[in-house]
Amino acid sequence: MSATVHVLHPPSSAIGAFLRVGHTGFRKLEALLAANRLPIRRVVFDAAHIGEQVDLLKALRSRGYETVLDPNCAEMATSARFDSAVGNLPWGNSDRPWTPQDFSQARNLDTAKALADFAVSYGVDAVLAPTHLIESTPSPWLAVDLKLSEALRRELDRSGGKNVAIDYQLITTNAVLKDPTNTDLFVSELQHLPIDNIWLRSSGFGASATGTATRAFIEAAQRFHQANRPLVADFAGGFSGIAAAALGAIAGLSSGVGQKENFRSGDWKKPQAKGGGSAKRIYIPELDRYFKEDQLERFFETKGARARFGCNDQSCCPHGIEDMIDKPHVHFITQRSRQIENLSSIPESRRGEHFLLHHLDPAIRSARQGAKLKIADDEISKVVSDAKKRLILLRDPLSDVHANSGSKSRSRALRFRGSPQKTNKATG
């Protein structure tokens, strides 16, 4: 037990990762947890689905993982999602989408109270504030969301949830964040709220973001440092998200397993795709993209592809490609944790450079090699060549941000809100 002290106080600058459970796949996470193979220690539940996921929630809590509740309020105010599972929550409405007017003083809607009671009953460590999509400014939602966040704090304190933290979830677009007038406004409004962290969920940023969009997001996040709160990029991942963390723009990332790595606000205006929502997607770190199972099989028919792009990490996929395909969630979670652990082990001042030289550059070299392979299938050939182009186009904007970020502030680091004495065994 003598080493415990060190584990209890990890370097303050470690990059944090949150895993979004989403709707499907929670049984697989339960199995991973039971096998002690879930190194991502912060887990986010959607309120709309947590009821059927209590076994996972309990198992995580008993092992000291940090648990976070997303109240799914933003979906309740959208024309294509209000009557999905979110409509059945105590603060939802399956008859019509909520509007800002519904939250005026004259109305009797007690979202904060209902949400506080719900969070306390599930025993989560933190709740994302009940916020809504801000697609342009000024937005009537901002004032509503600020008031709801304060009310939520009061209600949590009143209903036995004093220890439940609130993170503010700013759900918006890269276009809104690009304008410093908007970010200044957000900073001035958010800095006084009773919150731990600020989450940025930005449509237009995410795992498949271009170099330009990644740069815009990083620069916007840097302006949020004025609010003096740790920042989390939500619905983010891939080299774009990891770069933002390595360069110190954000303190942590949140995504699902092979999903919820990109947020598109436009999706909330379209009917939800029915059925077959969880087709296997297999992550290839060197190309920073996912392949569907049949795509990967076609790719691996190419001479040289297996050797270069198959997982040869024995502790991740002991049976190589078969494991990648059979257990893509294990492969993804392991590879993502390795990327984050590797960067976290590098002092902050050298982390940006380390990312460029030891993560991005080797990936670009691999992608170039991949594009040179004689891929018979035209679709796969294009997938690989597009992945290569995207990685190359990430390099210049990111080196430029890196060159200019020496004098820039870094996001404050995240505090771990689970029970570290319980998780240190699980995470090593």
- Indicate which single residue of 32, 245, 316, 394 sits in contact with Zn ion (rule: CB under 5 A): 316
Confirm or reject binding of residue 331 to Zn ion (CB under 5 A). Answer: yes
Q: Which stretch binds Zn ion (CB under 5 A): 150-158, 299-307, 309-317, 419-427?
A: 309-317
Name residue, tokens 């303050």: 12
**Which 8-state DSSP code applies to residue 343?**
H
Length of the chain equals: 428
Measured distance CA(385)–CA(372) in Å, rounded: 9
Q: Which stretch binds Zn ion (CB under 5 A): 44-52, 263-271, 331-339, 381-389?
A: 331-339
Confirm or reject binding of residue 232 to Zn ion (CB under 5 A). Answer: no
**Which 8-state DSSP code applies to residue 262?**
B
Which of 313/377 has CB closer to Zn ion? 313
Phi, psi dihedral angles at 254 (to 5 degrees): -135, 130
Q: Which stretch binds Zn ion (CB under 5 A): 75-83, 86-94, 310-318, 418-426?
A: 310-318
Which of 293/353 has CB closer to Zn ion? 293
Which of 97/320 has CB closer to Zn ion? 320
Which of 247/317 has CB closer to Zn ion? 317
Name residues whose C-beta falls within 8 Å of residue 181's C-beta, 6 or more positions apart in sequence. 137
Confirm or reject binding of residue 317 to Zn ion (CB under 5 A). Answer: yes
Residues 10, 423 contacting (CB under 8 angstroms):
no
Q: Which stretch binds Zn ion (CB under 5 A): 105-113, 313-321, 347-355, 408-416?
A: 313-321
Which DSSP string do the residues of 164-182 spell out, in sequence order? -EEEEEEEEEHHHHHSHHH
For residue 221 the two structure tokens come to: 């996040």
For residue 428 the two structure tokens come to: 């090593």
Confirm or reject binding of residue 311 to Zn ion (CB under 5 A). Answer: yes
Q: Which stretch binds Zn ion (CB under 5 A): 119-127, 306-314, 375-383, 417-425?
A: 306-314
Which of 232/311 has CB closer to Zn ion? 311
Which of 110/341 has CB closer to Zn ion? 341
Measured distance CA(220)–CA(232) in Å, rounded: 13
- How wide is the angle at C-alpha 278 spanned by C-alphas 273 and 279, nearest 5°? 105
Q: How far is the CB of 224 from Zn ion (least distance, A)?
A: 34
Measured distance CA(293)–CA(305) in Å, rounded: 15
Which of 122/290 has CB closer to Zn ion? 290
Residues 276-305 that bind Zn ion (CB under 5 A): none
Q: By the criterion CB under 5 A, which residues form the site for Zn ion?
A: 311, 316-317, 331
